[in-house]
Structure 1
Amino acid sequence: MRAFDHPADVAHAPGFFLMRGALRPNYEVPARAVSLREGLARLGVAAETPALPDRAALERVHAADYLDWLSTAHAAWEALPGAGPEVVANIHPSPEMLAQGGRAPAGMVGQTGWYTADTACPIGPGTWDAAVGAAGCALAAAEVVAGGEDAYALCRPPGHHAYAARAGGHCYVNNAALAAVAMRDRGAGRVAVLDIDSHHGNGTQGIFWDSADVLTVSVHGDPAGYYPWYVGRAHETGGRAAPGFNLNLPLSPGTGDDSWLAAVAAGLARVAEFQPDALVLSLGFDASEHEPLGYLRVTAEGFARAGEMIGAARVPTAIIQEGGYNVDLLGTLLARFLNGFGR
């Protein structure tokens, strides 16, 4: 299997993280990528450095105004009197504001609330470069898959919480969506996205909500008690233009291997019914029983078995790295999963 990794990820080292009203160190740290690289090395996989995507490739998924803001946000933030070291919103537009014609303001503080969904996506001096590097990994993997092979993209920062015009949940550019659209552009008539990160892939769902040629399936912790809180429920089945092309499989807290794997199997059954030409797998390891913000209780063996199940589907697959924050175990879990995938 070919793999892609970009060294720009180290430039993104967020510090801000707000948890239940308390500030604590951010979990989405460069050490995550170090551990994942070690996992690839155990398998004898040498990751390639991809080319950086051009603006047109990013605009296949993301709004131009959002990309303009994201690429310049930190410099503009630094120019504010008394600004902190990272771009973090202190207000977001409420549904009432939007219903009454709310729009993006000219000021940087207001724009930050407009273009971010939460406070879990601080922007530092190297965030844009890292996000573009991660996007390059996803697009390189998509190119391989368009040729009929499988590929792994070590994307950091992750991407599945990013909407077309909004960052959130450690995510700035939606790498999985970029890969899916790139596959469509290369001739795949149908593309499925299967997300097994422990958090609902809300950004990916939002981007493809009205697309009947991209199926989105997410296996995740129940948002009744877990991020992203407001979406990810079973009744969300797609927009008016694509009813039935979104499947959410939320799971109760503490769910372990058997029920998690049953949900993965249900997701794969829907994928098989869709008969895709290519598959994007949003792979997160934060369903692990050893995850610092643990909600699910999946073992290393569970991830290996999931790899076997997904590999057995025999669909050309771009594996896009999403979450997972236990840096001591990430490499091991990746190696177990890819060994199970086995192609």
Structure 2
Amino acid sequence: MMTFFSEQSFRRQATTELYGSTLVTPFETPRRMEIVLEAIERAGLGEVRAPNDYGLEPVKAVHDAGYIEFLANFWPAWQAEGRTGEAIPSIWPARTLRSDRIPRSLGGKLGYYALAAETSLCEGTFEAALASKDTALAALEHTFESGEPSFGLCRPPGHHAATDQFGGYCFFNNAAIAAQRALDRGYKRVAVLDVDFHHGNGTQQIFYRRSDVFFASLHGDPEVTFPYYLGYADETGEGEGEGFTANYPMAPKTPVSVWMQALEKALAQIARIECELLIVSLGVDIFEHDPISTFTFTRDDFTALGERLADAGLPTVFLMEGGYAVDDIGVNVVSVLQGFEARGGAKA
């Protein structure tokens, strides 16, 4: 299986994350990518290629122009104000405040475009986000041209990024950008299947009123799990998009057998509405030892996941999302991809 990865992803070297009441080193680290690349090489999974530069037009197709401009210009402007630390928002346009005005101040803009406070902005963030979407697009293009599956080793991840908000370590929504590109390339209906432990709130928001992208997410119950305010089972789409969103929230320590039953339901819906392409938001933070998640997957379970995804029989693009048990992330990712290939998913 072809893997795509950009060294520019290392441009983001954040040192600050607000975790509970403490500032900690971010769980989303560059080392995650190094471990995955090492595992791919050891397994002989296939060639690793650098992506092309696809520019900003694919980003503009799903993200707000003002938001893109904010990310592009924020860090130089932050430094020009004499700021020395990484930027974390301290206020948002909450329910009792106005959300129809974007402040001129950087602090005001920071809160306007953020959905959470755990993700800081730092030098290289915009460049890494651009490289990450290029990685996703390169994987999509490879699958489109060859029919073969592909893996986009995206960093930063993307599924929490909404039309005009960043958070959850995400800035541009790689899966949404790839899905829109697939539609522009001729696919009639695309499925985005999010298996990350955390709900893909950004992907859902982007496509919630559309019927050309079916979004399904298997995730921790938002009653007790980030991002808390989206991902409930009664969220099924609106207007033209009614019935094209499916959420499967599950309690902490949900058995893998129950998780797999939810996967079967999601795949049955994907087949029923005749999706032509499967984009997998591949978060391996469903691992039993992940430090910020509470599901129970083992290495063998990841292999079984890959096998079941291959059984869907669709052209498939895997895009990296979460996974924070750093020492194990490589073998868990490779287990999914090897399971997929072993089941005959090498070419749809």
TM-score range (shorter-chain normalised) is over 0.9
- Which amino acid is the alignment partner of residue 151 of structure 1? S
1:93 is matched with which residue?
A: 93
Alignment of 1:33-72 (within 5 A): 33-44=33-44, 45-72=46-73
Alignment of 1:1-343 (within 5 A): 1-44=1-44, 45-81=46-82, 83-98=83-98, 102-147=100-145, 148-342=147-341, 343=346
Task: Name the CA distance, whole Å, in 1 between partners of 2:9 and 2:237.
Answer: 33
Task: Name the CA distance, whole Å, in 2 between partners of 1:159 and 1:39.
Answer: 22
Is the 1:121–1:172 Cα contact (8 Å) retained in structure 2?
A: no
Is the 1:204–1:216 Cα contact (8 Å) retained in structure 2?
A: yes
Q: Structure 1, residues 139-158: CA drift from partner, whole Å, max 9, x if none?
A: 01111222322110000100
Is the 1:74–1:86 Cα contact (8 Å) retained in structure 2?
A: no
Q: Counterpart of 2:161 in 1: which secondary structure? A: coil
Q: Counterpart of 2:326 in 1: which secondary structure? A: coil
Is the 2:153–2:319 Cα contact (8 Å) retained in structure 1?
A: yes
TM-score (norm. length: structure 1): 0.97
- Which amino acid is the alignment partner of residue 283 of structure 2? G
- Which amino acid is the alignment partner of residue 35 of structure 1? I
**Percent identical residues:** 37
Task: Name the CA distance, whole Å, in 2 between partners of 1:324 and 1:250.
Answer: 18
Tell me the CA shift for residue 84 of structure 1.
4.2
Task: Name the CA distance, whole Å, in 1 between partners of 2:331 and 2:183.
Answer: 33
Structure 2, gaps ≥5 residues long? none
* Structure 1 vs Structure 2 CA RMSD: 1.1
Q: Greater CA deviation, 120-129 or 28-37?
A: 120-129
Tell me the CA shift for residue 295 of structure 1.
1.4
Q: Structure 1, residues 102-136: CA drift from partner, whole Å, max 9, x if none?
A: 31111100000011111122111111111111100
Task: Name the CA distance, whole Å, in 1 between partners of 2:103 and 2:190.
Answer: 37
Q: Greater CA deviation, 34-43 or 220-229?
A: 34-43
Tell me the CA shift for residue 46 of structure 1.
2.2
Task: Name the CA distance, whole Å, in 2 between partners of 1:84 and 1:19.
Answer: 21
Task: Name the CA distance, whole Å, in 1 between partners of 2:269 and 2:14.
Answer: 37
Aligned residues: 340
Moved over 3 A (4+): none
- Which amino acid is the alignment partner of residue 105 of structure 1? P
Task: Name the CA distance, whole Å, in 2 between partners of 1:171 and 1:303.
Answer: 24
Q: Counterpart of 1:9 in 2: which secondary structure? A: helix
Is the 1:35–1:327 Cα contact (8 Å) retained in structure 2?
A: yes
Is the 1:260–1:298 Cα contact (8 Å) retained in structure 2?
A: no
Structure 1, gaps ≥5 residues long? none
Task: Name the CA distance, whole Å, in 2 between partners of 1:20 and 1:155.
Answer: 26
Q: Counterpart of 1:95 in 2: which secondary structure? A: coil
Q: Counterpart of 2:218 in 1: which secondary structure? A: strand
Task: Name the CA distance, whole Å, in 2 between partners of 1:86 and 1:256.
Answer: 39
Q: Counterpart of 1:29 in 2: which secondary structure? A: coil
TM-score (norm. length: structure 2): 0.95
Task: Name the CA distance, whole Å, in 1 between partners of 2:76 and 2:255.
Answer: 44
Is the 1:73–1:87 Cα contact (8 Å) retained in structure 2?
A: no
Task: Name the CA distance, whole Å, in 2 between partners of 1:90 and 1:102.
Answer: 18
Q: Greater CA deviation, 258-267 or 224-233?
A: 258-267
Q: Structure 1, residues 208-256: CA drift from partner, whole Å, max 9, x if none?
A: 0111010000000001001000110000000122111100000110113
Task: Name the CA distance, whole Å, in 2 between partners of 1:256 and 1:160.
Answer: 24
Is the 2:13–2:123 Cα contact (8 Å) retained in structure 1?
A: no
Tell me the CA shift for residue 94 of structure 1.
0.7
